[in-house]
Amino acid sequence: MRGIVEEPLLQLVPKRFDYIGNVAVISIPPELAAYKEAIASKLFSMRGNTRAVLNKVSKLGGEHRVADFELLLGETTETIHRENGYTYKLDVKKVFFNPRLYSERRRVTSNIKSGEIIIIPFAGVGPFVLPAAGKGAKVYALEINPDACAWLRENIRINRFEGQVIVIQDDFENLFRTGEIFQILDSKTHKESQNGESGGNCKKVIPGEKIENGEKAGNKDFSGLPACSGPGKGTNKELQVQGSGFDRAIVPTPYGMDHFLVEITKLVRKEGHIHFYTFKAESQIPGLINEYEKMGLEVELYRRTGNVAPGISRWVFDLIKK
């Protein structure tokens, strides 16, 4: 932007930006408001397939963990993003997706073995879900954002993982508080009803309720849960769930919600694995390790996975339940 932005303001030009599919995302400070269009035009010209430029004007917030964006160039924010061999459809304005974590997602899923039963809260559009299913795991994906839930169902369909993933649209904390999440562990099978509409609609599964192929959704394990079944028509898929708990939990925890680790630990079997993400200063890490060990968790590995604010980083802990 040299020669376009005044010299005293050049230091405020963002040093980095993201591409999600063919949508460029940048955070332009208010001091550069007069140059937004020029910055957007420059980004638009940097890659030939760019279809839109978004200015991120707020941090993640709200129940659905999305930011506010300003569309600077382009007509649509829907895109197709490809990562580690999987395809993701999403609307960048309506869901959270961090493309910078692609190598971390590849690292975690490289540890998964075929046949594992995995729970993934805060599943989003599926950046951990699809690679886990691709390794042969059976996945329970929890997501509260209805837009993310809808895109997740679509991504399961286009990547051909129907039958391996159960998507539940609800607040994980609410499911834990009411005890409904434990019904997953108590069950031996869950029959997933398919409603046959494009993209699928969420609905309550009621015991004894007839579904399209005439069978009954009679298993009590997901009674009353909003089951977001993937697209398809008139088919039921069975997923076996171990009564002792999940083999693995992948928890891309939202900022400030570390208390979820206590709840997740109760759902994982002994010697099971937990990949837990938290936002901390480096000085807090030794105390955190000590805290986890007191909880009966072995810290197998921990590493920084990106900076989010001055002095604050995102850390992942690979934990084993003892």
Its sign, for the CA torsion 117, 123, 128, 130, is positive
Strand 86-91 versus strand 23-26 pairing type: unpaired
Q: Note whether 166 and 303 are same-domain residues.
A: yes
Q: Note whether 155 and 184 are same-domain residues.
A: yes
Its sign, for the CA torsion 198, 172, 107, 238, is negative
Q: Note whether 162 and 51 are same-domain residues.
A: no
Q: What is the domain extent for residue 39? A: 7-76
Last residue of a domain, which of 20, 45, 76?
76
Q: Which domain CATH number covers 40? A: 3.30.300.110
* Cα–Cα nearest to 265, from 303, 305, 294, 241: 294
DSSP SS3 for 113: coil
Q: Note whether 204 and 72 are same-domain residues.
A: no
Q: How many domains does the chain have?
A: 2
Q: Note whether 252 and 311 are same-domain residues.
A: yes
Opening angle at CA 33, ends 1 and 78, nearest 5: 85
Q: Note whether 203 and 273 are same-domain residues.
A: yes
Q: Distance between alpha carbon 288 and the CA centroid of its chain, in Å?
A: 24
Q: What are phi and psi of 149, to 5 degrees?
A: -60, -45
Q: Note whether 220 and 294 are same-domain residues.
A: yes
User: What whole-number distance in Å separates Cα of residue 63 and Cα of residue 91?
Assistant: 17
Q: Note whether 67 and 117 are same-domain residues.
A: no
Q: What are the distances in angstroms from CA 174 to CA 15, 78, 90, 168, 261?
A: 40, 30, 26, 12, 15
User: What whole-number distance in Å separates Cα of residue 217 and Cα of residue 292?
Assistant: 40
Q: Note whether 290 and 205 are same-domain residues.
A: yes
pLDDT by residue for the chain (322 residues), tens only, comes to 988 999 999 999 998 999 999 999 999 999 999 999 999 999 988 888 999 999 998 665 555 466 789 999 999 999 999 999 999 999 999 999 999 999 999 999 999 999 999 999 999 999 999 999 999 999 999 999 999 999 999 999 999 999 999 999 988 777 777 666 666 555 533 433 333 333 333 333 222 232 222 222 222 232 233 334 433 322 223 334 456 889 999 999 988 889 889 989 999 999 999 999 999 999 999 999 999 999 999 999 999 999 888 899 999 999 999 9
Note whether 119 and 142 are within 8 A (CB).
yes
Q: Note whether 72 and 168 are same-domain residues.
A: no
